[in-house]
């Protein structure tokens, strides 16, 4: 009997691998209008194979915002029938997730001699890129190991800026907090490439690198990133084990010590916005927070996510406005104006609590309350056409336009010392 069961299990796994883990999965965009609609969504969330893309958890679903979620192939027709029955309007954003997964990679791109910045890279490729870019640019780049992940991988920080004998004001730029948001590490690599390429030739970048240091962490959530390549493309959290639960991982962007777990986070280890057993329980969060606490001169904090096309600033843990709200709002407005000047990409901007939803434990709020009064979260492309599966063909335009926003903010910070 056992042998038969085992064979059956192997058969399912191998079929899944053959046609693809996400064959037949769809991504739906729902527009709930009433309590009955919300009830249905909650019911589906725990009775079907559903993965919330926006917002990131069923707790955050409300009637005034659309909901994007991936639904497993076996459940799609049943759920769609249920939606029609209760009159819950929806669009199908992605007909077949597996097909898009394959299209995400540009097959026809010739392999460039060097590192191809217009492709998504596995962690081992990024890790060797980190070493290479450091060795190739001794005057501009130095590499620090700020800690290691739950699964003992190194967490690297690159300090990018003209080497001087003294400490310069710095801008912290972090990427890859959420594993499935692949465009984020792609942008951090693009930023470093642009900095070292344009130093000495582009006056604006040369000034920035002479007067500031950029502290860039290309991938914070290394274990999660590796897992999103190896096993589950839509994984978001870390890969730490939760005692007493079969569910793995904590949301690193709910694990910072900023009104930890008070709102917009979950105490259930199975939720994508699980806040962890306590603030800074995650080694990856501890590494970043520990580094920032001991570093003298960080004047701005920028954290890169996807998707939604938004420039967010504190607070997220409360609806109250920060003392320098007007300044942050003007900076965000000007930054998104610079961004959209290149390809016309439209961004929303404003305090995170108001623009998306109130949530505690985020890195930007934590940095702000530490005294880093210029703190922004960027949610890069797109608005749901591809979502986390942003095609490689969009890496270049996304990174080019985002460079304009980051450079605007960096110049502002340089001109407004505090
Ligand atoms: C969430 C929080 Cl808690 C914050 N402080 N700032 C930005 C966000 C949005 C990101 C998240 O973690 O949900 C977008 Se992926
Ligand atoms: Zn139910
Ligand atoms: Zn994110
Ligand atoms: Zn996001």
Domains defined for the chain, CATH in brackets = 14-104 (3.30.70.340), 123-415 (3.40.630.10)
Cβ neighbors of 418 (< 8 A, separation 6 or more) are: 299, 373
CA 362 to CA 161: how far, in whole Å? 27
Nearest CA to ligand 1 atom 6: 362
State how far the Cα of 370 lies from the Cα of 69, in Å rounded to an integer: 35
| Residue-level pLDDT at 111 | 46
Atom of ligand 1 nearest to the CA of 258: 5
Sheet of 154-160: strands edge to edge? Answer: 141-148, 154-160, 213-217, 170-174, 298-306, 374-380, 310-313, 348-351
Q: Ligand 1: residues within 6 Å at CB?
A: 56, 178, 253, 305, 312, 316, 352, 356, 359, 361-362, 364-365, 377, 379
Q: How many CB atoms lie within 10 A of CB 393?
A: 13
From ligand 1's centre to the CA of 381, what distance in Å? Answer: 15
Task: Give the phi and the psi of residue 389 in degrees, each rounded to 5.
Answer: -90, 35
What is the per-residue pLDDT for 2? 75
Separation in Å, CA 209 to CA 85, 140, 212, 385? 59, 8, 5, 36
- Which of 181, 280, 282, 379 is labelled catalytic? 379
Tell me if residue 282 is catalytic: no
Question: Which of 355-374 are b and which e, b meaning 16 or more Cβ less than 10 Å from the residue's Cβ?
Answer: bbbbbbbbbbbbbbbbebbb
Q: Which residues contact 46 (CB under 8 A, 6 or more apart)?
A: 58
Q: Which residues pair with 273 in a beta bridge?
A: none
- pTM (2 d.p.): 0.91
Q: Give pLDDT < 70 ranges for the chain.
A: 1, 5, 7-18, 107-113
What integer pLDDT is reported at residue 165 of this predicted model? 83
For residue 265, count CB atoms less than 10 angstroms from its CB and return exposed for 0-12, middle for 13-18, buried for 19 or more.
buried
Measured distance CA(367)–CA(374) in Å, rounded: 9
Note the pLDDT of residue 299. 98
152 CB neighbour count, 10 Å cutoff: 9
The residue whose CB lies within 8 Å of the most ligand 1 atoms, and thus the one to mutate among 224, 362, 369, is 362
The residue contributing the CA closest to ligand 1 atom 5 is: 362
Q: How far is the CA of 176 from the centre of ligand 4 (A)?
A: 11
Residue among 271, 279, 264 at smallest CA distance from 354: 264
Q: Can you tell me whether residue 26 is helix, strand or coil?
A: strand
Dihedral sign, CA of 22, 183, 224, 92?
A: negative
């Amino acid at each position: 009997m056992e042998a038969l069961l085992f064979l059956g299990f192997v058969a399912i796994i191998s079929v899944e691998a053959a046609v693809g883990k996400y064959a037949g999965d769809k991504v739906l965009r729902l527009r709930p209008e009433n309590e009955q609609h919300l009830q249905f969504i909650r019911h589906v969330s725990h009775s079907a194979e559903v993965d919330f893309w926006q917002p990131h958890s069923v707790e955050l679903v409300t009637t005034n915002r659309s909901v994007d979620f991936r639904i497993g192939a076996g459940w799609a027709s049943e759920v769609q029938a249920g939606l029609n029955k209760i009159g819950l309007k929806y669009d199908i954003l992605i007909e077949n997730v597996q097909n898009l997964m394959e299209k995400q990679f540009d097959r026809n791109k010739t392999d460039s001699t060097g590192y191809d910045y217009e492709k998504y890279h596995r962690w081992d490729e990024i890790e060797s890129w980190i070493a290479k870019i450091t060795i190739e640019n001794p005057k501009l780049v130095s590499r620090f190991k700020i800690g290691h992940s739950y699964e003992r991988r190194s967490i690297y920080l690159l300090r990018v800026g003209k080497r001087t004998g003294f400490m310069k004001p710095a801008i912290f730029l972090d990427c890859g907090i959420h594993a499935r948001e692949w465009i984020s590490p792609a942008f951090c690599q693009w930023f470093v490439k642009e900095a070292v390429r344009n130093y000495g030739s582009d006056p604006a970048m040369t000034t920035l690198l002479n007067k500031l240091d950029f502290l860039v962490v290309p991938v914070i959530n290394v274990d999660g990133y590796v897992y999103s390549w190896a096993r589950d493309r839509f994984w978001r959290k870390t890969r730490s084990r939760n005692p007493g639960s079969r569910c793995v991982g904590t949301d690193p962007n709910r694990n910072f010590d900023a009104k930890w777990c008070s709102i917009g986070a979950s105490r259930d280890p199975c939720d994508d916005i699980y806040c962890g057993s306590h603030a800074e329980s995650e080694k990856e969060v501890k590494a970043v927070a520990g580094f920032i606490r001991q570093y003298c001169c960080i004047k701005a904090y920028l954290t890169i996510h996807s998707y939604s096309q938004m420039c967010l600033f504190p607070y997220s843990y409360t609806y109250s406005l920060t003392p320098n709200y007007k300044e942050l709002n003007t900076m965000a407005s000007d930054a998104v104006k610079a961004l959209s000047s290149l390809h016309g990409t439209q961004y929303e901007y404003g305090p995170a609590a108001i623009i998306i939803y109130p949530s505690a434990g985020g890195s930007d709020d934590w940095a702000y309350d530490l005294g880093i009064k210029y703190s922004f979260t960027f949610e890069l492309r797109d608005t749901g056409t591809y979502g986390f599966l942003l095609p490689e063909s969009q890496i270049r335009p996304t990174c080019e336009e985002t460079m304009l926003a980051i450079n605007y903010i960096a110049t502002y910070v340089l001109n407004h010392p505090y």
